[in-house]
């Protein structure tokens, strides 16, 4: 699922406590840690794991469109008893059944004398002329229902897959770009980034969210409600306060894995890697 990388936080973590920003941050960096197209940067706490977890990089949403990915989509179609969908990413398999491959993934089992069978009128035959043992049955990996013929099972699977295609594989596509979302709400939220319904009355600049506009208005009013507890500075944006708090920390989390120099922000590390230290390595 597209949201599989999210970990639902306990509500208590919503209490603002900037003294805990460092610890809360750790372990969540991977959620959305990399801009599309960026290489995984090294860092003191996640460099090794980033190599393991982020390589190969996750496919982008635009690339993922039309083809299920190993993480986001294939899993939804897999079945506990078999691997019809997971091993054969057939997006339209109800109409274009890849029989040779799919057949090899069925669980063929020997006599099941008590199980019901369908398609008794069919000759026992597998795909591509595979000679079926009269004593064998063909079992659906999903519901364990047994069929005496492959064609009976295939018919059963096709009808099931039609249902699955209309329920589990429902996506909402953005008409403005290639992105697709699992929920209508998520899509509506995304569409706001195209329509930009929130306009600043002072300068006319438009934003996708009201609170983005709120933050922008602070640039006009000069309001800075987020004060640093370590110094006298204040900020209009919480994220900027968070970044500022890094300057009070001696720990620089982001490390260049070429020269081992450390940086307080990922953007500084990226800039260092791309320009100063090892531009060819990126």
Partner DNA sequence: CTGGGGATGGGGCCC
Partner DNA sequence: AGGGCCCCATCCCCA
Closer CB to DNA, 109 or 230, in the complex: 230
Closer CB to DNA, 49 or 159, in the complex: 49
Closer CB to DNA, 154 or 241, in the complex: 241
Closer CB to DNA, 2 or 127, in the complex: 2
Question: How far apart, in whole angstroms, are the C-alpha atoms of residue 114 and residue 136?
Answer: 13
Least distance to DNA, CB of residue 91, Å: 21
Residue 76 in tokens: 């939804």
Phi/psi region, residue 128 (left: phi>0; alpha: psi -120 to 50; beta: rest), is left
Strands (E), the chain: 107-109, 137-139, 146-147, 172-173, 180-181, 198-199, 206-207, 226-227, 234-235, 254-255, 262-263
Least distance to DNA, CB of residue 86, Å: 22
Least distance to DNA, CB of residue 55, Å: 16
Least distance to DNA, CB of residue 28, Å: 4
Closer CB to DNA, 71 or 186, in the complex: 186
Least distance to DNA, CB of residue 107, Å: 35
> What letter does residue 273 receive in the DSSP assignment?
I
Q: Residue numbers of the site for DNA (CB under 7 A)?
A: 2-3, 6, 8-9, 11, 13-14, 16, 21, 24-25, 28-35, 38, 179, 181, 184-186, 188-190, 193, 205, 207-212, 214-216, 218-219, 233, 235-240, 242-244, 246-247, 261, 263-268, 270-272, 275-277
Question: How far apart, in whole angstroms, are the C-alpha atoms of residue 221 and residue 78?
Answer: 54
In contact, 244 and 265? CB cutoff 8 Å: no
């Amino acid at each position: 699922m597209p949201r599989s990388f999210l970990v639902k936080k306990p509500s208590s973590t919503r209490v603002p406590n900037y003294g805990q920003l460092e610890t809360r941050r750790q372990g969540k960096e991977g959620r959305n840690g990399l801009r599309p197209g960026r290489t995984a940067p090294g860092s003191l706490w996640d460099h090794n794991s980033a190599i393991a977890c982020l390589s190969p990089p996750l496919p982008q949403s635009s690339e993922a469109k039309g083809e299920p990915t190993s993480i986001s989509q294939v899993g939804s179609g897999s079945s506990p008893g078999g691997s019809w969908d997971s091993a054969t990413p057939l997006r339209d398999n109800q109409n274009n059944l890849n029989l040779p491959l799919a057949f090899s993934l069925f669980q063929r089992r020997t006599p099941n004398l008590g199980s019901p069978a369908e398609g008794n009128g069919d000759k026992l035959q597998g795909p591509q002329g595979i000679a079926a043992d009269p004593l064998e049955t063909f079992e659906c990996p999903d519901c364990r229902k047994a069929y005496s013929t492959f064609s009976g099972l295939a018919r059963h699977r096709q009808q099931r897959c039609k249902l699955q295609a209309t329920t589990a594989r429902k996506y909402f596509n953005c008409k403005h770009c290639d992105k697709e979302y699992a929920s209508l709400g998520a899509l509506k939220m995304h569409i706001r980034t195209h329509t930009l319904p929130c306009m600043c009355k002072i300068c006319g600049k438009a934003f996708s969210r009201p609170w983005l506009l709120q933050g922008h208005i602070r640039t006009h009013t000069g309001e800075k409600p987020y004060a640093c507890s370590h110094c006298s500075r204040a900020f209009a944006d919480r994220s900027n306060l968070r970044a500022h708090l890094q300057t009070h920390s001696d720990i620089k989390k982001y490390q260049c894995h070429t020269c081992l120099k450390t940086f307080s922000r990922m953007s500084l590390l990226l800039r260092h890697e791309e320009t100063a230290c090892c531009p060819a390595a990126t």
